[in-house]
Structure 1
């Protein structure tokens, strides 16, 4: 991704439906300048791999995904994804991207474990992660506050030995 692509994030982060299950930081980003600052810091993060999700036909950016909190010592990282263009929700994009990022993490970056957290009410996310091979490890009780309510986050992971290409 390139710095000038931060403009794609303006409508996404401004849409409560898009960011409902996403980073808590997104809940506080209100202006283009704040989004640009977050985006620039994200691209500079040496412990993260940030990848754009592009349409093959038009090369339009529709989201981003990658791995954060990379640990060479523990050979681990944390998966994340945001599909900002709602027209591509429920079409298998999340599952396909997740599988690609797992391949990158386990082969190129030699990770042994990739984990994620997902809101328990994010049924689509849970389905996509399960399809990609993630298994439930546990629950973080009342770990997320959205729309005036607390809800649990589900911890999932996949180990290299469990991963199927």
Structure 2
């Protein structure tokens, strides 16, 4: 599971800092840590992960992310003890349309429902809208993931529709709900509020 403390964490740059979590780059040295999360049954279900991967495949994936200018994959760590509790990514960044997709995974139930994911999402949204100059950030969430849907709505994501029967998992079809946030909505909710 991805709640291990990395010995290299203290020497790794913290890209984005919150009060309870920080986001740091992922490195090839994190391959084992990242690989282990892919076998957590709850994480697999919530993310709709159906394939299995080898450590070599994960290592190559992490390496390729370092070269990919259209995505930013970061690990989520706790400020109090540097434990890695998940990951978050801006993906498919399109500079012409100023849009991207965001995804997040908080591993292990003991780390869920505590606001860590909310804080990590707001940090990444701030980076996406304020540094990457994005106008629209979207996400997909499966209809059975009610906790995540509530979190996204609380942050300010708007439902746009559903992709019916988009996921076949454990003998059942599930809808994928499309949600998005625009830079103007983020600005009103977070930037202007902080300025006043």
User: Fold-level match, TM-score > 0.5?
Assistant: yes
User: Partners in 2 of 1:107 and 1:141 — Cα distance?
Assistant: 33
Larger Rg: 2
RCO comparison, higher one (Cα < 8 Å, 6+): 2
User: Partners in 2 of 1:30 and 1:51 — Cα distance?
Assistant: 19
Contact 1:9 1:84 in 2 (8 A): no
CA RMSD of aligned residues (A): 1.5
Indicate which of 167, 180, 191 corresponds to 1:144.
Answer: 167
| 1:133-160 CA distance string (max 9 Å, x none) | 0000011011111112111000000011
- Helix, strand or coil: the match of 1:58? coil
Instruction: Decide whether aligned partners of structure 1 residues 66 and 40 sit closer, same or farther in structure 2, where only a CA change above 3 A counts.
Output: same
- Helix, strand or coil: the match of 1:47? coil
User: Partners in 2 of 1:117 and 1:73 — Cα distance?
Assistant: 21
Runs (4+) of structure 1 exceeding 6 A deviation are none
Aligned to 1:28: 51
Deviation, structure 1 residue 47: 0.6
What stretches of structure 1 of length at least 5 have no aligned partner? none
Aligned to 1:17: 42
Instruction: Decide whether aligned partners of structure 1 residues 43 and 63 sit closer, same or farther in structure 2, where only a CA change above 3 A counts.
Output: farther
- Work out the number of aligned pairs and report it: 163
- TM-score norm. by structure 1 comes to 0.92
Indicate which of 57, 64, 70 corresponds to 2:93.
Answer: 70
- Helix, strand or coil: the match of 1:28? coil
